[in-house]
Structure 1
Amino acid sequence: MDTSASSARHPDATSREVLRLAVPAFLTLVAEPAFLLADTAIVGHLGTVQLAGLGVASAALATCAGIFVFLAYGTTASVSRQAGAGDLLGALRLGVDGVWLGLLLGVVAGAVLSLAAGQVTALFGASLPATEQATEYLQISGIGVPAMLVILAATGVLRGLQDTRTPLVVAIAGFSLNIVLNVWLVYGLDLGIRGSALGTVLAQTSMALALIAVILRALHRQHGKALPTVVRPHPGRVLAAARAGVPLLIRTLALRAVLLLTTWVAASSGDVTLAAYQVSATVWTFLVFALDALAIAAQALTGNALGAADVPRARTLTALMVRWGVWCGVALGAVVVALHGVLPGLFTSDAAVQRALASALLVLALQQPLSGFVFVLDGVLIGAGDGRWLAVASLVQLVLYLPVVLLMQQANVAASGLWWGFGTFMLVRGVLLGWRARTDRWAVIGAAR
């Protein structure tokens, strides 16, 4: 069957295909930053110092998760290509390799964060009280890093199989458990910021176990009694999965460096600016994950289309999802503008932080249409396996952002100024991604790139 012709005759079918993946992915991605939103709201009412400390610790944890996000993205791309070529068992085997890699990397990264928490948080240059709070949070949160990375890999497997509903169910259950545990541990047992960290670790571990159980059931249906052989770690294949993720790792490191540099500028500007930036960055993460739902659909559908050697369908889907990304950005930006005077009071009672945060949210809102464009095209190229180009482009963007960072640091900008500076980075990123998408070099067909 000519799927590209079918899509042309039935554009509504193409839209439904995107929505079938994007809507559950949207709700799942919203639930993920909701972990941090819940932590921020609960910890924020303990005091400004605790909120600033959470900002530092969250930046370190987000960096860890961001560094290894290729576990989700790379697994989605490879599994979707294999599934598009008709090899479901091969797709699941690739997914198992990714899960083992996530567990291995998580054990190492978690140990480093827990044992070196003091040194890591000191790098941000926050005040001593804020740094102490950040250290307490990070020491406990490091224990949950293996589960966090397994969740990334396992979610990537299911997305590659075009199943975004199961991660949604698991995410909602995990978020609900996280809120209950955090309120009980922080206020009920009076554990302060440590209780917030512990509650999140327990919720993440439960989510990881649930996702692994789903993948094992799918493997059992495909391979029956040979399941122990299939799920056993194969060092060669795990190493191959690691090598395949290197370009996306470089891309992610460059992007995380941009966010860390922005946090560093915020930390050097005082606790009020840092606290306002922490909350605004949390809201930004929430919006990013919402827009990234289309990027997730782009990864899965692009990989599947190219695996099936259907380039016209891949381009049709790309054009549709880019339009949707921009309009979703417009809608989300309008919501933030409408709520910019209300949101600050939900996170802090400090009047100075509230004023700084309200201004920052307005700047952040204006950038959302551009964000929708950027995230969708990024997802398309990841789904196409265009990791090498993405790695080089991200390094270029980082280099161009460095002068902006220095100017912001010297000017001692407020939280709103930080977001104006960050907007220049997003603009450069959008230009480069748009140029690449107009070429044919990313659209390589076959079960493997």
Structure 2
Amino acid sequence: MELVTSTRTSTRRHDREILALALPAFGALVAEPLFLMVDSAIVGHLGTAQLAGLGVAAALLQTAVHVFVFLAYATTAAVSRRVGAGDLPAAIRQGMDGIWLALLLGAVVIAVVLSAAPALVDLFGASATASPHAVTYLRISSLGIPAMLVVLAATGVLRGLQDTRTPLYVAIGGFTANAVLNLLLVYGLGFGVAGSAWGTVIAQFAMAAAYLVVVVKGARRHGASLRPDAAGIRACAQAGVPLLVRTLSLRAVLLIATAIAARFGDADIAAHQITLTIWSLLAFALDAIAIAGQAIIGRYLGAGDEKGARAACRRMVQWGVVSGVVLGVAVAASRPLVMPLFTSDATVHAQLSTVLLVVAVTQPLAGVVFVLDGVLMGAGDGPYLAGAMLVTLALFAPAALLVPAWGGGLTALWWMIAGLMMTVRLVTLWLRARSGRWIVTGAVRA
């Protein structure tokens, strides 16, 4: 009887921890795809060519930013370990190194994207009507990349400190500013696609400024240095390499999918862009539990609590399954309401109706994948995650490239994305979680 009571108490404790971190994290995480959803909804009513151009540009822009998502994930894991070990000054110093690295990387990425924008758009096979809009959006939006990377790093610091509320407040402010600016610049001032891009850039810089104010105050309160430290920045970069490989592999999957969809025609790439936007929103929603997992697992391992880390992992997997079922039902039921928000094109609607069903059916699978991904990130198990994602890419790429050859269309392509790709990820992550090799305790993973 005592064992049952103890188990229930432990479960309730984990539920409270997960909810306390995951609910605010959900709001903050969905802000990014909501940015793109607002852009897609506003630009979509300018015309199908404009929406198709946005689809190509957005995929490229997201790749330019998301390859550095380790700035958030690796920072969360490292900071939370030090929090678990009781060393707050070292935790914040670790976060400052990540922010300085973000600024350096942002400057490099701007230089590359500005000069290579036309070539990158052509590489995607965008049509002659969509290409000019894609280049315009990509070049302007690239100016906000340093701000986007600072937001990633600073978010990682706060998550590691077990604070997901501040990112929620900043995200709400950024989303509101983005929506207002887009409407004003696109329709009010008639800037079209360029106005949408400028609105997003301004909102991103405002968010970065808000985060820096919070982190700098925390650093001063705990006596942590704000100056750039070459050794610390270099250590952050080295720790992020495995996650960079993992993210590049994942982005390669999405880029291959977008390139294939672009060759189906403007209606297909427009439908693909809308689906990808919704899929990203769902992914970020599921990732809220994964974010809680990163912070909680890192803290438990930093405190040397192996049993607590295992129990938290099991409970978060259960939350992932339930969340995936709920989101899948919501997507299936809301299709008639969602599609008109993005476009009035009947051809695009016809494509969306079937593809969104594929997304809905696969959400429970995605729920487990995202949770396990977060657990292993929180444990600092980057090398395994990199290898697992390379295996996924190796299996996905040839299968997806064969879709057009076999006469398949956008629906078949999305079965490759949401079905095959996510199944391979589930298998590789589940095997690692069951092995227990990810459990390494201490303030720093050896």
1:11 aligns with 2:7: no
In structure 1, distance between residues paired with 2:413 and 2:244: 25
The residue aligned with 1:79 is 79
The residue aligned with 1:289 is 284
Stretch of structure 1 that moved more, 87-96 or 6-15: 6-15
CA drift at 1:138: 0.6
> How do residues 101-140 of structure 1 correspond to structure 2 at under 5 angstroms?
101-140=101-140
Letter in 1 for 2:428: L
In structure 2, distance between residues paired with 1:279 and 1:419: 12
Runs of 4+ in 1 over 4 A off after TM superposition: 5-8
Q: Secondary structure at the match of 2:158?
A: helix
1:318 aligns with 2:313: yes
**Which residue of 358, 369, 381 corresponds with 1:386?**
381
In structure 2, distance between residues paired with 1:48 and 1:161: 44
The C-alpha deviation readout for 1:388-432, integer Å capped at 9, x for no partner, is 011111111111112211211323533222111111111011011
1:187 aligns with 2:183: no
1:352 aligns with 2:358: no
1:434 aligns with 2:434: no
Stretch of structure 1 that moved more, 400-409 or 284-293: 400-409
1:408 aligns with 2:416: no
> How do residues 255-404 of structure 1 correspond to structure 2 at under 5 angstroms?
255-404=250-399
CA drift at 1:443: 0.3
Letter in 2 for 1:83: V
CA drift at 1:13: 1.9
CA drift at 1:35: 0.3
The residue aligned with 2:196 is 196
The C-alpha deviation readout for 1:44-68, integer Å capped at 9, x for no partner, is 0000000000000000011112200
CA drift at 1:344: 1.3
TM-score normalised by L of structure 2: 0.97
In structure 2, distance between residues paired with 1:240 and 1:164: 25
In structure 1, distance between residues paired with 2:159 and 2:115: 34
1:420 aligns with 2:422: no
In structure 1, distance between residues paired with 2:282 and 2:108: 30
CA drift at 1:83: 0.8
Report if aligned partners of 1:340, 1:358 keep a CA contact under 8 Å in 2: yes
> How do residues 135-284 of structure 1 correspond to structure 2 at under 5 angstroms?
135-223=135-223, 230-284=225-279
Letter in 1 for 2:79: V
The residue aligned with 1:21 is 21
- Runs of 5+ unmatched residues, structure 2: none
In structure 2, distance between residues paired with 1:445 and 1:131: 51
Aligned residues with identical type, % of pairs:
56
Report if aligned partners of 2:89, 2:219 keep a CA contact under 8 Å in 1: yes
Letter in 1 for 2:182: N
CA drift at 1:135: 0.2
Letter in 1 for 2:366: S
In structure 1, distance between residues paired with 2:263 and 2:357: 22
Aligned residues: 440
CA drift at 1:340: 1.5
Letter in 2 for 1:241: C
CA drift at 1:342: 2.2
In structure 1, distance between residues paired with 2:165 and 2:149: 19
Letter in 1 for 2:220: H
In structure 2, distance between residues paired with 1:34 and 1:390: 27
In structure 1, distance between residues paired with 2:101 and 2:208: 14
The residue aligned with 1:70 is 70
Q: Secondary structure at the match of 2:144?
A: helix
CA drift at 1:7: 6.9
In structure 2, distance between residues paired with 1:117 and 1:202: 20
Q: Secondary structure at the match of 2:143?
A: helix
Report if aligned partners of 1:148, 1:208 keep a CA contact under 8 Å in 2: yes
The C-alpha deviation readout for 1:221-247, integer Å capped at 9, x for no partner, is 111xxx6xx111111210111011000
CA drift at 1:8: 6.0
In structure 2, distance between residues paired with 1:110 and 1:412: 39
Letter in 1 for 2:416: G
CA drift at 1:131: 1.3
Report if aligned partners of 1:103, 1:150 keep a CA contact under 8 Å in 2: yes
In structure 1, distance between residues paired with 2:53 and 2:68: 23
Letter in 1 for 2:360: A
Report if aligned partners of 2:403, 2:409 keep a CA contact under 8 Å in 1: no
Q: For residues 371 and 277 of structure 1, do their structure 2 counterparts lie closer, same or farther at Cα, with a shift above 3 Å needed?
A: same
In structure 2, distance between residues paired with 1:342 and 1:321: 31
Letter in 2 for 1:172: I
In structure 1, distance between residues paired with 2:205 and 2:407: 40
Report if aligned partners of 2:302, 2:444 keep a CA contact under 8 Å in 1: yes
Report if aligned partners of 2:11, 2:315 keep a CA contact under 8 Å in 1: no
In structure 2, distance between residues paired with 1:48 and 1:411: 27
Q: Secondary structure at the match of 1:278?
A: helix
Q: For residues 9 and 341 of structure 1, do their structure 2 counterparts lie closer, same or farther at Cα, with a shift above 3 Å needed?
A: closer
Stretch of structure 1 that moved more, 424-433 or 5-14: 5-14
Letter in 2 for 1:87: D
Q: Secondary structure at the match of 1:438?
A: helix
Report if aligned partners of 1:356, 1:414 keep a CA contact under 8 Å in 2: no
Stretch of structure 1 that moved more, 289-298 or 342-351: 342-351
The C-alpha deviation readout for 1:183-233, integer Å capped at 9, x for no partner, is 00001110000000000000000000100100011111111xxx6xx1111
In structure 2, distance between residues paired with 1:26 and 1:414: 33
